[in-house]
Amino acid sequence: MTQTIRTIVNARLQGVEQLQSIAISDGRFTRISTQAGRVEPGADELDGSCNLVVPPFVEPHIHLDAAMTAGEPRWNQSGTLFEGIECWSERKASLTRDDVISRAEQTLKLFADNGIQYVRTHVDVTDPKLTGLKAMLEVRERVAGTVDLQIVAFPQEGLWSFPQGRELMEEAVRLGADVVGGIPHFEFTRDYGVESVRWLVELAHKHDRLVDVHCDEIDDPESRFLEVLAAEALRLDYGSRVTASHTCAMGSYNDHYCSRLFRLLKKSGLRFLSMPTESLHLQGRFDGYPKRRGLTRVPELLDAGLKVAFGQDSIRDPWYPLGNGNLLRTLDVGLHACHMLGMGWIEKSLELITDNGAAALDLEEYGIKEGLPARCVVLQGQSPYEVLLGQLPVLASIRDGRVSVNRPADSNN
Ligand code: FE2
């Protein structure tokens, strides 16, 4: 049951000393004003209890079509990306509409309970029947009241390397996919990979779609498709609509090459997504010791003024057996893995699961400002540091003025 509220009182906004009162009308924030002190909530008012109130969490990179299939038909024993793709290829053969819808909605419920209201999911379109894509287009409509879902047409087995890969992608765009995906490092040859990136960016540009490429998700320092993606985005002046997911290989590039690459990245304005739990698990698998972390250069990209967000990538699927929908867990792991536990980074860290994710999704209306849709979450903590220390579930999630989640403080449920 959802309750409609007209004010959030005792709200703490990031970077603002005094408590705030946030008025809501017709599903939008109408007035944000400073309180003299803590107040008692009245009828139709939600008590922020002096906790941080931030925009809803954004899950920018997940695979809902594969979610909750770990161990089916077999477990990924090696823990590599490539055995994961083999397991998924076997599971994909038994995919049905109801199967996809049921698992996707179960996962989205988990996300909504954790304060996530915006999700970008990849859906494998290297399937002649496009079963997953068609089911996910239905899911997008079914969940519209609780989550905004973007669908990436993702060619898991390649655009050049899978029979009819390009035709299936074109069909997916025609059917209504929001975003064009790619996987150049998995194509049979480097040339195929380069051609695929150029082709998919052109396709997206022609049909006014976003781009999100699984790019260089490999420890191989010779995997350099990111430069191709950035150059294409720059050429078409499309950078704010283009996302490079993973870019794990950047963690293995030499600094000389990176200094040249970063000049291009800054010019292109590309968005970046890193999936720390997934990459720590899948990458470094062919290393002896020392083993690489397999993550992209997150702090360096942020220092260069580029937008980077963290995502979960998987929830209990052939690539990653864990996951609980709590992005604070992902953030915690990412900050550890990227050497970002200095207080300066911690204070800005919530941007990695809110604003920067919204930038990747190219959301037009996002944030806590007068006039914007009344969507936000109440966290358990008065600062990002406290929130990270506890990693407790959100106290409340508000969507268009309706309270969709409301739980008592210090709850782990
Ligand atoms: Fe992915």
Q: Which residues are catalytic?
A: 217
Check residue 292 and report its DSSP letter. Answer: P
Burial of 101 (0-12, 13-18, 19+ CB in 10 A): middle
Distance in angstroms (rounded) separating the CA atoms of residues 205 and 191: 21
Alpha-carbon dihedral angle through residues 236, 240, 242, 244, given to the nearest 10 degrees: 130
- For residue 61, the CA-to-ligand 1 centroid distance in Å is 6
Q: Which residues pair with 84 in a beta bridge?
A: none
End-to-end CA distance of the chain: 18
pLDDT at 413: 45
Distance in angstroms (rounded) separating the CA atoms of residues 117 and 93: 31
pLDDT at 411: 55
- For residue 3, the CA-to-ligand 1 centroid distance in Å is 35
Low-confidence ranges of the chain (pLDDT < 50): 413
- For residue 270, the CA-to-ligand 1 centroid distance in Å is 17
- For residue 245, the CA-to-ligand 1 centroid distance in Å is 7
Domain with CATH 3.20.20.140 in the chain: 57-360
3-state helix, strand, coil in the chain (%, to 5): 35, 20, 40
Domain with CATH 2.30.40.10 in the chain: 3-55+367-406
- For the chain, helix (H) and strand (E) counts, in that order, are 13, 17
pLDDT at 412: 53
Class of domain 57-360: alpha beta
Q: Which CATH number does 3-55+367-406 carry?
A: 2.30.40.10
